[in-house]
Structure 1
Amino acid sequence: MTATPTHAAHPRPASLGVTGGIGSGKSTFAAMLHDCGAALIDADAIARSVTQSGGAAMAAIRHQFGPDYVDRHGALDRARMRALVFADPQAKERLETIVHPLVGNAIAQAAAAAAQAGKRLIVFDIPLLTESDRWPRQLDAVLVVDCREETQLARVQARSGLTVDAIHAIMATQSSRAVRRAAADFVVYNDGLTLPDLQTKARQVAAWFGL
């Protein structure tokens, strides 16, 4: 008789939420942790995927908001929707009611796959981590990438061409630097750092989690 080999279940991976204000460099830092061997789950990328052409949220968005909020490719018209939700908090809630459950399910599936693959650390790149009461309960630790507001403005203008007023409007929807830092287990001050400097900090954090 041939015995069927058994495999011990993988230990539960540590979960690290990485957040920061727009232009802080949080996604760059999260990607560096991925390069060190962590699994990376990008909540914003998942949200974009469900609102692209053919995405799981688009039928409900068209029904709820009308065709003016769908671009010619069948994806969410982000600029128009951004203007609406900034002006109308109820519209923001309606959009979140559609998008958040889909994003949550996709994140849970990705986390389960990472655990099954034996990853020791799952990094969740979450733009609005401290603005939500659900995320801190699901994470083992929170890392905040911080920088001066002047640096945020300069970086976002350089990469996107948004006006200062538009960037300030986005920043106004996010937690303050003080609130983010107060929620952090790790703070990476990303002002005046070179990319190699930032990579060194990422390796130090990864090593703390055994990578």
Structure 2
Amino acid sequence: MNEHPHAVVIALTGGVAAGKTAVARRFEALGVSVHDADVAARAVIEPGTSGLAAVVDAFGVGVLDDAGRLDRPAMRRHVFSNPSAREALEAIIHPRVRQWLRERALAERGPYCLLAIPLLAENIAHYRWVDRVLLVDVPESVQMARLIARDGIDETLARRMLAQQASRAERLALADDVIENSGDESALDHAVAELHQRYLALANAR
């Protein structure tokens, strides 16, 4: 599948609690399509999909709830303390998520679109086909404070969540464009408006 998307494809990423959603909403308000890896991860294991069938093959029918859907809390508990189970689950879901995003990008008829991919740095080898990477960046101290406030967790757990992700330096090394988001959310309006013009110009030049 090496057909190239017609639209310019921008991968939007950032660490946990960096503000990716706030940025994505602003692009959507400008009429830009945003295709979200988290939405894809749910869609590819809906009842009736090959993804859910593969999960049941790997883990047994015990991972389904009464309605025949994946019992997410049970699955989370199962993979949390079991690295090999998590790898098995990711081996089913991640390739399907990439395929889903790729198909959305290929079907895109606008000048450009965004793919919201939280774990881009961890999986960049599989996303060489995107045109640019847009990083929503915040210092780790800000991430910690937001995570603790947002999820009501303690500092130890917040640190552990950050440690599971790529480092800020790894993400910055990948980024073509960076939105610095440690200040007030209203500052995002200007940053997004500027990037919107840049991406439209890129699409025109293509």
Give the Å deviation of 1:73: 4.3
Q: CA deviation at 1:163?
A: 4.7
1:148 aligns with 2:142: no
User: Any idea what SS the aligned residue of 1:145 has?
Assistant: strand
Which protein is bigger by CA-based radius of gyration? 1
Give the deviation of 1:86 after TM superposition.
Answer: 4.0
Amino acid in structure 2 at the alignment position of 1:88: N
Deviations 1:141-189 (A, max 9, x none): 1111111223223333443344544443332221001110111111111
Deviations 1:104-124 (A, max 9, x none): 23222211221xx3x111111
Task: List alignment gaps of at least 5 residues for structure 1.
Answer: 1-10
Q: Any residues of structure 2 matched to 1:54-203 within 5 Å, and which?
A: 56-114=50-108, 117=109, 119-194=110-185, 196-203=186-193
Quick one: percent identity of the two aligned structures?
Answer: 36
> TM-score if structure 2 supplies the norm length?
0.82
CA contact (8 A) 2:9 2:105 kept: no
Please, which moves more after superposition, 19-28 or 161-170?
Answer: 161-170
Q: Which has the higher helix share?
A: 2
**After the TM superposition, which of the residue ranges 196-205 and 82-91 deviates more from structure 2?**
82-91
Superposition TM-score, scaled by structure 1 size? 0.80
Q: 1:166 to 1:48 in 2, by over 3 A?
A: farther
Q: Cα deviations across residues 125-154 of structure 1 (Å, max 9, x unaligned)? A: 001101113344111111111112232233
* Counterpart in the other structure of 1:206: 196
Instruction: Say how many residue pairs are matched.
Output: 197
Q: Using a 3 Å threshold, how does the CA distance of structure 1 residues 121 and 159 change in structure 2: closer, same or farther? A: same
CA contact (8 A) 1:16 1:123 kept: yes
SS at match of 1:57: helix
